[in-house]
Amino acid sequence: SLSMMALKVVALLLSFAVIALGNVSPPHGHSAPVPTVVIDLDLAPEDRWTAVVKPYTAALAPIINYVKNEVPAAVFDIIEPLLGDLDAYLGKPWASEVKSVATATGYDLGEIVLMNLFYDVTSACTSVVAQTHNGSIIHGRNLDYSLPNLANITVKVNFTSQGQLVYQATTYAGYVGALTGMKPGAFSISLDQRDTNATILDNIREAFFRGGHSVGFTIREALQHNRTFEDAVSYLASVDLISVEYIIVGGITADQGAVLTREREDAIDIWRIQSPKQWFLVETNYDHWKPVPADDDRRGPANRFLEQYDSSNITMGALKKLMNTYPNLNGDTTYTTLMSAATGFYQVNTQNNP
């Protein structure tokens, strides 16, 4: 439909507002735990976030203002008439959840839609999956953004059904997608931005002719519906996306760790843990088979740190130390999540707090 086409143009314009990677500054301030909120999946999508996001209304203002300043004014003109057809573009139930955030906070629906798309295209990150002595997998991730005030809206979300935990995610209040999450007893997922030289023509082709999905909603879809590590890997390797990404997946038993290098259509590479030789994988924002740029080498220090260990003595404590060490922890890191689907461990700390 015309509205779908126009909203894809919006996503395309947003994809040019990508953070410039490189020259990471040292961290400042301290780490702090985040609040845990509960989203009841048994509620209608339009009711799920209401109570959760309302208290964050004021804290969202600097983020929304930042996005409005970064995005060309023409985007708002395109988006305004299309908001009645959000189901077609964002898909169900995500459109209803996004609408509920706008209703609960009183912000313009267009602003909330743009904020939800903006997070998909503007991050830098480090993700690590490693196999421990008993074959279980540990997974750490730092999410780096240059947006202001994100620590104030970072939350750990427990998604429940019939009172039982279904999956967990780390997100920002008002963003209904997930860039980091875990289904206990099954798998964990993190998303790293892929820095490519995609041409404007590539992006336009995607915007007009393909049914790409927002990656944040796609990860929630996987957490909600995929049952096993291999289910998640095959779904996340094949679903159409609106942007190119790395998706890092950890499982629960030996060799269940993978980095998916994604084009919009599908994965062009699936790099797996193959113990004992390849017992960990480090992904930052560059294809793992290519060298990283000299001004943004977070991969080398992470590899050297992990090479001090092996599968028999790596621990969550050691992984936590890595994720809290420069340059993997840097001045843009908004949060660190440590998780293990095998044990159900899920810990989130914001970084660079004053």
In our burial notation (b when 16+ CB lie closer than 10 A, e otherwise), range 286-297 reads bbeeeebeeebb
State the angle between helix axes of 229-238 and 215-225 in degrees (0 to 180), rounded to the nearest 10: 150
| Catalytic residue of the set 114, 117, 125, 241 | 125
Measured on CA atoms in the order 224, 166, 95, 204, is the torsion positive or negative?
negative
Q: Does 125 participate in catalysis according to the annotation?
A: yes
Instruction: Give me the DSSP letters along 238-299.
Output: HS-BSS-EEEEEE-SSTT-EEEEEE-SSSEEEEEE-BTTTB-EEEE-SS-TTSPPPGGG--H
List helix spans (H) across the chain. Answer: 2-14, 50-53, 57-70, 73-79, 86-90, 94-105, 109-118, 200-209, 215-225, 229-238, 299-306, 316-323
Question: What torsion, rounded to 10 degrees, do the Cα atoms 88, 91, 94, 98 define?
Answer: -20
Alpha-carbon span 245 to 239, nearest angstrom: 12
Radius of gyration for the alpha carbons in the chain, expressed in angstroms and rounded: 19
Alpha-carbon span 253 to 327, nearest angstrom: 30
Omega before 327 within 30 of 0, i.e. cis: yes
211 closest CA partner among 64, 91, 333, 59: 91
Helix (H, G, I), strand (E, B) or coil at 326: coil
Q: In angstroms, what CA-CA distances link 128 with 138, 284, 331?
A: 8, 9, 19
How many separate helices (H) and strands (E) can be counted in the chain? 12, 14
147 closest CA partner among 67, 30, 35: 67
Active site members = 125
